[in-house]
């Protein structure tokens, strides 16, 4: 890991009003240093253990939620068994591979959603989420 990278991550945290603690910085590094990630709490915890970062699962959950509240992450609901967090906070859609539980972004402009019918009375759109569920071709 490069020094300037750590400085950038520290700024990212400070800008979000989050103190750059040892654990937080380590998580930020795991999450944001290597392209776009889609990850569960348990998986992130394993990643941290592998990277020899001492951090409890409670702290993983705390930080995933704090990062989400700060707009650094986005929570994705695709699977009833556990929550995913996406480091891509821009509007986008998703492929979800049913066998592996893998997610892949679809750039917003690569897919068109049209003709949304009138919304229920007294509501406004919060987001339009498209999930293209794919399955391994049999044979």
Partner DNA sequence: CAATAAATTAGAATTCTTCTAAACAAGAAA
Partner DNA sequence: TTTCTTGTTTAGAAGAATTCTAATTTATTG
Interface ranges with a second copy (CB under 8 A): 75, 77-80, 83, 95, 97-98, 104, 106-107, 110-117, 119-120, 122-137
Binding pattern to DNA, positions 13-52, x when CB under 7 A? -----xxxxxxx---------------xxx----------
Rg (CA), the chain: 17
**Residue 121 to residues 1, 106, 113, 125, Cα–Cα distance (Å):** 52, 30, 21, 11
Q: Which of 36, 46, 82, 102 is in the footprint of DNA by CB under 7 A?
A: 82
Q: Is 59 in the site for DNA (CB under 7 A)?
A: yes
Q: Is 56 in the site for DNA (CB under 7 A)?
A: yes
Spatial separation of the C-alpha atoms in residues 1 and 125, rounded to whole Å: 41
Q: Is 87 in the site for Mn ion (CB under 5 A)?
A: no
Q: What number of other Cβ atoms are within 10 A of residue 35's Cβ?
A: 7
Q: Which two tokens stand for residue 101?
A: 């539980």
């Amino acid at each position: 890991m490069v020094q300037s990278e750590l400085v950038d991550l520290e700024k990212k945290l400070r800008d979000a009003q989050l103190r750059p603690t040892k654990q937080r910085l380590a998580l930020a590094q795991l999450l944001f240093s290597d392209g776009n990630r889609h990850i569960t709490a348990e998986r992130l915890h394993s990643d941290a253990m592998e990277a020899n970062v001492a951090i409890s699962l409670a702290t993983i959950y705390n930080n995933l939620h704090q990062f989400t509240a700060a707009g650094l992450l986005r929570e994705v609901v695709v699977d009833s068994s556990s929550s995913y967090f996406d480091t891509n906070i821009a509007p986008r859609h998703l492929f979800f591979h049913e066998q592996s539980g893998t997610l892949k972004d679809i750039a917003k402009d690569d897919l068109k959603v049209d003709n949304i019918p009138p919304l229920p009375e007294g509501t406004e759109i919060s987001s339009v989420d498209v999930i293209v569920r794919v399955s391994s071709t049999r044979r």
